[in-house]
Amino acid sequence: MIASSAAFATSGPVAKALLATGWTPTTLVTARVGIAGLVLLGPAIMASRGRWGVVRAEWWLIVGVALTGVAGCQIAYFNAVTHLQVSIALLIEYLGIVLVVLWLWLRTGRAPHRATVGGVVLAVLGLVLVLDVSGASSPDLVGVLWASSSAIGLAAYFVIIARAHADLPSVTLAALGMLLGAALMGALGLAGLLPWGSAGEPIVLAGRQVPWWWGVLSLSLIAAAFAYLLGAIGARRLGSTVASVVGLTEVLFAVFLAWALLDELPGTAQLVGGALVVAGVAAVRWGERADVGPVGDFPAPGGLA
């Protein structure tokens, strides 16, 4: 599970390096999820043997995942990292888990678990420090808005997958959602309805130039397909509660990788705020698992992001 989180965390720094050379978020997300979806298609077909009736019945769920977790959330996140440090964009995106709790609270009128309430308070306090609203290093407002959009997309993704049929394999949902999302974004991009463009220039990571295609394959194979499969295996062995909390180490890996590859490091107050956000989200996940468990067993598209 930790290896999965580390693999997911590579997406932000690599994507930011590609975007700096002229790739658009739409093109990059399309390439990433299209390749990853093709890689996962084989395991998805094997996992769906004898369950194709369930897959057909849940077509609306696959469309929902394609629109929220694949397209909306990832495009917003990749736009966010062009304006913000990778770790800050990811921290804001992970607040989507808090939005799920608030949504369920408003919709059902049922008060959440005490640990959940405490987690929400910690996460909000952490966000205030991360955004450094009273300091001189306040993040770019446009980036914050994009990251907030990715958090909304993440929340919508979790709400949708919570309705998934128990017999629908998660790898099938991921593979088909990625392929559908890639087809949709590719069509809109080629039609000129979404910004579309790529570049053949090398990217710079850790002060060294690497080929652009290495970055695209890294995003697709390491930060998506490989990370997803490892996460699915880890979740089955650890259980959804422990796995979901361990999965938050993605933020810690993202901080380290952004520092090592892009020389990005948040300030002291932002690091403290980040720790509070991670602790708060962990408490929210734990409290909701202890209560009714609405968050689901699927990896976050921040990971896919």
Other beta carbons within 10 angstroms of residue 3's beta carbon come to 14
What confidence score (pLDDT) does residue 241 get? 53
Contacts (Cβ under 8 Å, ≥6 apart) of 49? none
Q: Taking residues 218-235, what's their average pLDDT?
A: 82
Domain boundaries, the chain: 2-300
Asked if residue 157 lies in contact with residue 68, where contact means CB atoms within 8 angstroms, the answer is: yes
Asked if residue 71 lies in contact with residue 259, where contact means CB atoms within 8 angstroms, the answer is: no
**111 pLDDT above the threshold of 60:** yes
Q: For residues 267 and 98, what is the distance between their CA atoms, to the nearest angstrom?
A: 24
Distances (CA, A) of 284 to 9, 53, 192, 277: 21, 34, 41, 10
What confidence score (pLDDT) does residue 216 get? 95
Q: What percent of the chain is modeled with pLDDT above 90?
A: 33
Q: For residues 231 and 237, what is the distance between their CA atoms, to the nearest angstrom?
A: 10
Task: With cut-offs at 50, 70 and 90, classify the pLDDT of residue 230.
Answer: confident
Higher pLDDT, 212 or 288: 212
Q: For residues 273 and 22, what is the distance between their CA atoms, to the nearest angstrom?
A: 32
**270 pLDDT above the threshold of 70:** yes
Q: For residues 154 and 30, what is the distance between their CA atoms, to the nearest angstrom?
A: 18
DSSP state of 194: S
Q: For residues 157 and 296, what is the distance between their CA atoms, to the nearest angstrom?
A: 10
What confidence score (pLDDT) does residue 178 get? 92
Range among 145-149, 167-171, 281-285 rated most confident:
145-149
* Residue in the block written with tokens 């996940």: 285
What confidence score (pLDDT) does residue 136 get? 52
**28 pLDDT above the threshold of 50:** yes
Asked if residue 224 lies in contact with residue 36, where contact means CB atoms within 8 angstroms, the answer is: yes
C-alpha atoms less than 13 angstroms from C-alpha of 14 in its C-beta half-sphere: 25
Q: DSSP string covering 199-252, please?
A: --S-EEETTEEE-HHHHHHIIIIIIIIIHHHHHHHHHHHH-HHHHHHHTTHHHH
What confidence score (pLDDT) does residue 142 get? 93
Higher pLDDT, 11 or 137: 11
Q: For residues 12 and 58, what is the distance between their CA atoms, to the nearest angstrom?
A: 31
Residue type, 214: W
Other beta carbons within 10 angstroms of residue 99's beta carbon come to 18
Q: For residues 243 and 241, what is the distance between their CA atoms, to the nearest angstrom?
A: 5
Distances (CA, A) of 8 to 14, 77, 90, 142, 210: 11, 13, 11, 24, 20
What confidence score (pLDDT) does residue 294 get? 47
Task: With cut-offs at 50, 70 and 90, classify the pLDDT of residue 203.
Answer: very high
pTM: 0.84
Task: With cut-offs at 50, 70 and 90, classify the pLDDT of residue 199.
Answer: very high
